[in-house]
Structure 1
């Protein structure tokens, strides 16, 4: 009991010194079941691949599944523990393809045309391979709900044991998505691999800093952001630019996974807590993989400083009663 109190005291002392939460400070003291130190890095692969717009096209869904399994083997050969894939990696329904009123008009989606049996079968095959390879795999697809509810647009988190560990559903949808296509999600999702804590974001959520700020408060080390755009010659991939700013503002890694079609403007890659690209896929419209190490041994000074600044501690330095402070029109 005394040893436990001493351990908790050490964790609280670090939290007080750095501005971290107790949970974040605890990670610096964690050990494996054998008593060995936790690994100081995790190897992450991020992919871009050709997405298919019709979940009712059985051959295309199977082709996507095979493409994903090929990338899984490639990532494992590169030593990755986790492979991150884009929104709609298995199925990325087009609003016009799915429109019940036809491709000339965007209307309510006809989900009866989706090949749910093949989608489920491909997901099972991907999960089985993840277990064989001992590779965490995070991929985008659609998640069926009880009719007449529309499905979620989701990220499946498949563990290295070959099972679905959790699922993230996009919460902040575009007007078209929420009006005609999907049911919004309701909660953030986190999971841990080898002591590294991940959060998930999807679609256009890079446009909402509050999503990433929430993950900072949940003590994630890296946010996996999967998207399929936009990224055109006119806007040069604003989600990729926003992802860099969000990584720097929150002092965590952001893995940006987009489509091969979007790669000439915004290739997939991993962003450091300083907002710099650590690695990127080629800026070509081809399926590709990029791999890097997340270095957990490096001190992250920006994150605890921001937490201290937000805690209200700085109010002691303010001068609320100084007339020269209150006079906003004088010199």
Structure 2
């Protein structure tokens, strides 16, 4: 990983409802707050704009009457705000896949100019989500911002070590994680993934699920470095800083050494020749 100036990011805790316009307004309010606080990027939870299955989306059949035009309009407004404030946003929402298959459960990536530059589709769906709620995605998503490489993951993917291991091999500095709740076992997993792969993880959650676990950011040493205080809407902010002395061991010693260890040469060259 190359050196660069610190990148301030925020993990949002926003109220998610069945009203797409209200969700869009809540998202924009937090984006404005994040920009005022100096953040260059803010990540929102799974379904932050669209609502999430079994909660705001009553049944798989509800997608037939879903207001896709309304979501598109709100996403466009969010993009305009991002462009005017110079801040990137990762927004959870459904993505219309086809008239035959259910939508993807996605994170939309809006850059600091307000352009839609990517979309991550959740790959490891839950058993419930596979029951005609969503269609799984197939690829990781990696993008760059201010010299830092970022990836995305969603909800139950916190339980799959291969997701975060893959992002480590892709040179990602931080994983932006949107989930409809961050319960204790998710928190344990996220801290482990961050510490084992020596990367930051920014975890966003709905405010109505914050009593199970607040939005926050885990550092590359596996420790929380920022959390939202209280159950209401809010932001957790932290700086991604490769030169921070607190992360010297994690970033400059542990991560490169573990990469060499996984390749195995440092062990093979020590094997005895006379076995």
Q: TM-score range by the shorter chain?
A: over 0.9
Contact 2:20–2:51 (CA under 8 A) maintained in structure 1:
no
Choose the corresponding residue for 1:81, options 40, 51, 54. 40
Contact 2:92–2:107 (CA under 8 A) maintained in structure 1:
yes
Choose the corresponding residue for 1:92, options 25, 48, 51. 51
Give the structure 2 partner of residue 242 of structure 1: 189
Q: Which of 1 and 2 has greater Rg?
A: 1
**Structure 2: runs of 5+ lacking an equivalent:** none
1:295 aligned onto 2:241: yes
Structure 1 residue 307, shift from structure 2 partner: 0.6
Distance in 2 of aligned mates of 1:51 and 1:69: 13
**Structure 1: runs of 5+ lacking an equivalent:** 1-23, 29-37, 55-59, 101-107, 232-236, 323-331
Give the structure 1 partner of residue 11 of structure 2: 46
Q: How does 1:54-133 map to 2 (within 5 A)?
A: 54=18, 60-95=19-54, 98=57, 108-133=60-85
Distance in 1 of aligned mates of 2:55 and 2:173: 37
Distance in 2 of aligned mates of 1:321 and 1:240: 48
1:211 aligned onto 2:163: yes
Structure 1 residue 317, shift from structure 2 partner: 2.4
Mark the CA change 1:93 to 1:305 in structure 2 (over 3 Å): closer, same or farther.
same
Contact 1:44–1:293 (CA under 8 A) maintained in structure 2:
yes
Contact 1:95–1:109 (CA under 8 A) maintained in structure 2:
no
Task: Tell me the TM-score normalized by structure 1.
Answer: 0.77
1:192 aligned onto 2:144: yes
Q: Residue 156 of structure 1 aligns to a residue in which SS? A: strand
Mark the CA change 1:287 to 1:199 in structure 2 (over 3 Å): closer, same or farther.
same
Contact 1:98–1:109 (CA under 8 A) maintained in structure 2:
no
Task: Tell me the TM-score normalized by structure 2.
Answer: 0.92
Distance in 2 of aligned mates of 1:117 and 1:139: 16
| Deviation sequence 1:234-263 (CA, Å, 0-9, x none) | xxx211111000000100111111121221
Mark the CA change 1:73 to 1:96 in structure 2 (over 3 Å): closer, same or farther.
closer
Q: How does 1:148-187 map to 2 (within 5 A)?
A: 148-187=100-139
Q: How many residues align?
A: 268
Distance in 2 of aligned mates of 1:156 and 1:241: 26
Q: Residue 81 of structure 2 aligns to a residue in which SS? A: helix
Structure 1 residue 51, shift from structure 2 partner: 1.4
Q: Residue 71 of structure 1 aligns to a residue in which SS? A: helix
Contact 1:45–1:291 (CA under 8 A) maintained in structure 2:
yes
Distance in 2 of aligned mates of 1:147 and 1:266: 36
Answer with 78-87 or 257-266: which moved more. 257-266
Structure 1 residue 49, shift from structure 2 partner: 1.2
Mark the CA change 1:96 to 1:159 in structure 2 (over 3 Å): closer, same or farther.
closer
| Deviation sequence 1:203-254 (CA, Å, 0-9, x none) | 21000000000000000000011101253xxxxx211111000000100111
Choose the corresponding residue for 2:268, options 286, 293, 315. 315
Distance in 2 of aligned mates of 1:267 and 1:96: 19
